[in-house]
Amino acid sequence: MADLEEGFTLTAVPLGSGPDGPLGVEQSDKTDQFLVTDSGRTVILYKVSDQKPLGSWSVKQGQIITCPAVCNFQTGEYIVVHDNKVLRIWNNEDVNLDKVFKATLSAEVYRIHSIQGTEPLVLFKEGAVRGLEALLAEPQQKIETVISDEEVIKWTKFFMVFRHPVLIFITEKHGNYFAYVQKFNSRILSKYTLLLGQEEKCVIQSFSTSVGRKFISLMSLTSDGCVYETLIPIHPSEPEKNQRLVQSQLLKSVVSGSARSGAALSILDQDHVAVLGAPRPASKECLSVWNTKFQTLQTSKELPQGTSGQLWYYGENLFMLHGKFLTVIPYKCEVSSLAGALGKLKHSQDPGTHVTPHFVNWETSQGCELGSQNSEQSKRILRRRKIQVSVQPEVPASTQLLATIQKDSEKHIEVELRKFLATKRTPDFHTIIGDVVIGLLGRCKAEPSFYPRNCLMQLVQTHVLSYSLCPGLMEVALEKTDVQILQLCLQQLPDVPESVTCACLKLFLSIGDDTLQDADINMESVSDYMDPVQDGEMEEQTTFLQNGFNPEEDNCDSCAQKLKEKPQAAADESTSCPLTPKRAALLNAILCSAYSETFLLPHLKDIPAQHSTLFLQYLYFLYLKCSENATMTLPGTHPPTLNQIMDWICLLLDANFTVVVMIPEAKRLLLSLYKFVKSQISICSELNKIEVSFRELQKLNQEKNNRELYSIEVLELF
């Protein structure tokens, strides 16, 4: 349904124009910005959504603007004509119109037209037309006369028909109207005589056009208040001959004939026109929207302070003068249904319609795949056609990207990839990304020197990849010992197989410190609890007593005696991190990745004893860090959780116990681990006891409720 929304005033200051209204409202090269030309000396650029002026330019006192300012869409400059013959061209930076480019022409200008996609046109009062470029090259060139004497241009419009500019202008001579259609691809000027359908002569007040397939539809609003339509052929059969066109009545009595300040008409879309004027002789002026198909009034809005009989329509906004202010009324026409037209769109108001909850549809990717197959198929058809008529088919961005990957340089691929990622994501985005990665890896394998690290990083960070989408990625990274990519993969891919996780672990434990030094590793997970300066030794020993766990507390067995001998050393060992922060960050990525114990255990057995001891030490250190606070968590962003740490300790010990137990330096570690496992077991058993007691309590509670098998209650129904 066509709908006029609440309007708003554009100019806070009244235009110094008087009753004539502004000269014109024209689009600028930016959406939402419009050039308003006063009938006096001023041009103002407005941003409509903000309702505020962005710039204002005036000509000198004594000069007068005679033609509304337009924007040259090709250069972004503004063009205006003052004193009929003087052309001014300026841009946003210019302040004073006196100092900008000036060209004096040899004939009087009626209007400058500018639309997107072509150069501006200058229409002279004598009916001649020139392109702006040609005119500026020789401003004083001779301008011929096209229309006869006493013929006056009443209205003009410039538009594109199938990419070719077409100018139409209407002239009047002694009450007769003529339409001229100038086509620029063939340089043909056709002239038509408009025959009014009714007997008595009446004045046409306003025109508007729209372009159809074969005809230009010219609508006119006459002084008797009716709207007439004239169809002008786009491709006239005999262009040189003067032809006659009959007007047909479209709407009757939309405005009263005797309007004080005239009426205006604007075509909104295929079926809707906006009419400005007073519907009855005595009534206030109105803006009304009519449906020409059903000849019904769709909506109207009263303008009590009067208007000027001028109406502009751009995008979704109608511009008109209301009182002394330029007013914008947004117009919307939603797709209408019969029910909607009858005012019975019941379901839209039905409070019972439930919004369906969000759910994951596993079949979307299948659907998309089908879609892409279809598009492929259609592409094939297109290609076949290309042989015949050589039409360039549009290749999807992903296919282009895949082609780029196969041959171009690393730099170029990176640029292309960034472009691709910036575009809107389609539902099958993840599969395309998977294909891209596979393409990159394929080339890596073929050319050993090719390793597009940045691209891979970017792709992994799209958060849509999974291991199964790009199986070779981590293998290649392992080969190149690229710890950074490996860390990213472990963090981002949800389904890294255990063997690969374990290979990463081996690499992270064995890689040299100097190599790590150069690697750019994300330290997020360790930054908060590990200072690179290693001030851990300064930490108070008492800090980890909070959780009730104390390695010195002699509740274990005689082995603890040994611990007691070197309590300070033990404390040192447990509070200072056994690893460099970078290595710790890498290991954290391993700790946080998903795994299944069954598959991980066999691989863990292959880790050398030294490394597994080191890893155990680190895990123990993390555990102690965890115990430092009441919530049993590590500080920082995305640190490993206590459960993850515990599980890994168990796994490592399960896999390597016989080896670790033989290493003398691991002995103390094992002892302390034994102790904390013992404490964990007691905690768990206590928790289980509590759970059971709670269940009993719950049962008791239920029984209490159930005991009231019968009661008589009072109930009041309202």
Partner 1 sequence: MGEFNVHRVRFFNYVPSGIRCVAYNNQSNRLAVSRTDGTVEIYNLSANYFQEKFFPGHESRATEALCWAKGQRLFSAGLNGEIIEYDLQALTIKYAVDAFGGPIWSMAASPSGSQLLVGCEDGSVKLFQITPDKIQFERNFDRQKSRILSLSWHPAGTHVAAGSIDYISVFDSKSGSAIGKMLVDRQYMGVSKRKCIIWGVAFLSDGTVISVDSAGKVQIWDSATGTLVKNHLVSNADVQSIAVSAQEDSFVVGTAEGTVFHFQLVSVTSSSSEKQWVRTKPFQHHTHDVRAVAHSPTALISGGTDTHLVIRPLMEKVEVKNYDAALRKITFPHRRLVSCAKKKQLLLFQFAHHLELWRLGSTVATGKNGDTLPLSKNADHLLHLKTKGPENIICSCISPCGGWIACSTASRFFLYRLNYEHDNISLQRVSKMPVFLRSALQILFSEDSTKLFVASNQGSLRVFRLLEGGFTHLHSFQPQSGTVQSMCLLAVSPDGNWLAASGTSAGVHVYNVKQLKLHCTVPAYNFPVTALAIAPNTNNLVIAHSDQQVFEYSIPDKQYTEWSRTVQKQGFHHLWLQRDTPITHISFHPKRPMHILLHDTYMFCLIDKSLPLPNDKTLLYNPLPPTNESDVIRRRTAHAFKISKKYKPLLFVDLLDEKTLVAVERPLDDIIAQLPPPIKKKKFGT
Does residue number 253 form part of the binding site for partner 1 (CB under 8 A)? no
Angle at 370 between CA 365 and CA 371, to 5 degrees: 95
Instruction: DSSP letter for 536, please.
Output: G
d(CA 456, CA 286): 62
Q: Which span sits near partner 1 by CB under 8 A: 243-251, 335-343, 429-437, 503-511?
A: 429-437
Residue 574 host element (H or E): helix 567-575
Decide whether 369 or 479 has the Cβ nearer to partner 1. Answer: 369
State in angstroms the smallest separation of the CB of 688 from partner 1: 5
Give the x-and-dash track for 315-354 against partner 1 (CB under 8 A): -----------------------------------xxxxx
The residue from 104, 249, 366, 693 that contacts partner 1 (CB under 8 A) is 366
Are 55 and 92 contacting, i.e. CB atoms less than 8 angstroms apart? yes
* Dihedral angle, C-alpha 573, 578, 581, 584, nearest 10 °: -120
Residue type, 558: S
Decide whether 9 or 365 has the Cβ nearer to partner 1. Answer: 365
Instruction: Please list every residue from 450 through 509 that binds partner 1, using CB under 8 A.
Output: 468-469
State in angstroms the smallest separation of the CB of 261 from partner 1: 46
C-alpha pair distances (Å), 188 with each of 133, 148, 472: 20, 18, 65
State in angstroms the smallest separation of the CB of 530 from partner 1: 30
Decide whether 361 or 400 has the Cβ nearer to partner 1. Answer: 361
Residue 72: how many other CB atoms lie within 10 Å: 18
Decide whether 387 or 709 has the Cβ nearer to partner 1. Answer: 709
The residue from 362, 448, 630, 637 that contacts partner 1 (CB under 8 A) is 362
C-alpha pair distances (Å), 31 with each of 77, 238, 398, 473, 696: 15, 40, 30, 45, 70
d(CA 589, CA 583): 10
Decide whether 63 or 431 has the Cβ nearer to partner 1. Answer: 431
Decide whether 381 or 681 has the Cβ nearer to partner 1. Answer: 681
Residue 79 host element (H or E): strand 78-82
Instruction: Please list every residue from 551 through 580 that binds partner 1, using CB under 8 A.
Output: none
Instruction: Please list every residue from 665 through 684 that binds partner 1, using CB under 8 A.
Output: 680-681, 683-684
The residue from 416, 428, 482, 628 that contacts partner 1 (CB under 8 A) is 428
* Strands 243-246, 188-195: pairing kind: parallel
Does residue number 704 form part of the binding site for partner 1 (CB under 8 A)? no
Q: Which of 318, 304, 240, 305 is nearest to 275 (CA)?
A: 318
* Strands 109-113, 188-195: pairing kind: unpaired
CA 512 to chain centre: 45
State in angstroms the smallest separation of the CB of 339 from partner 1: 17
d(CA 231, CA 217): 5
* Side-by-side strand order, sheet with 109-113: 109-113, 121-124, 129-131
The residue from 240, 269, 302, 369 that contacts partner 1 (CB under 8 A) is 369
State in angstroms the smallest separation of the CB of 369 from partner 1: 5
Does residue number 270 form part of the binding site for partner 1 (CB under 8 A)? no
Residue 178 host element (H or E): strand 176-183
| Paired residues of 314 in beta bridges | 317
- The residues, any chain, with a CB within 8 Å of residue 644's CB and separated by 6 or more, are 591, 592
Decide whether 637 or 711 has the Cβ nearer to partner 1. Answer: 711
Does residue number 685 form part of the binding site for partner 1 (CB under 8 A)? yes
The residue from 144, 149, 363, 565 that contacts partner 1 (CB under 8 A) is 363
Does residue number 400 form part of the binding site for partner 1 (CB under 8 A)? no
Decide whether 243 or 365 has the Cβ nearer to partner 1. Answer: 365
Decide whether 368 or 556 has the Cβ nearer to partner 1. Answer: 368
Are 21 and 317 contacting, i.e. CB atoms less than 8 angstroms apart? no
Give the x-and-dash track for 430-459 against partner 1 (CB under 8 A): -xx-xx------------------------
Decide whether 33 or 680 has the Cβ nearer to partner 1. Answer: 680
Does residue number 711 form part of the binding site for partner 1 (CB under 8 A)? yes
State the number of binding residues for partner 1 (CB under 8 A).
Answer: 47
Residue 66 host element (H or E): strand 65-71
Are 227 and 176 contacting, i.e. CB atoms less than 8 angstroms apart? no
Does residue number 150 form part of the binding site for partner 1 (CB under 8 A)? no
The residue from 598, 631, 637, 658 that contacts partner 1 (CB under 8 A) is 598
For the record, the structure tokens of 325 come out as 């202010």
* Side-by-side strand order, sheet with 264-267: 264-267, 272-277, 285-291, 296-303
Does residue number 706 form part of the binding site for partner 1 (CB under 8 A)? yes
Decide whether 144 or 708 has the Cβ nearer to partner 1. Answer: 708
The residue from 688, 696, 697, 700 that contacts partner 1 (CB under 8 A) is 688
The residue from 12, 338, 389, 717 that contacts partner 1 (CB under 8 A) is 717
Decide whether 471 or 635 has the Cβ nearer to partner 1. Answer: 471
Q: Which residues bind partner 1 (CB under 8 A)?
A: 350-357, 359-363, 365-366, 368-369, 372, 428, 431-432, 434-435, 468-469, 598, 680-681, 683-685, 687-688, 691, 702, 706, 708-718
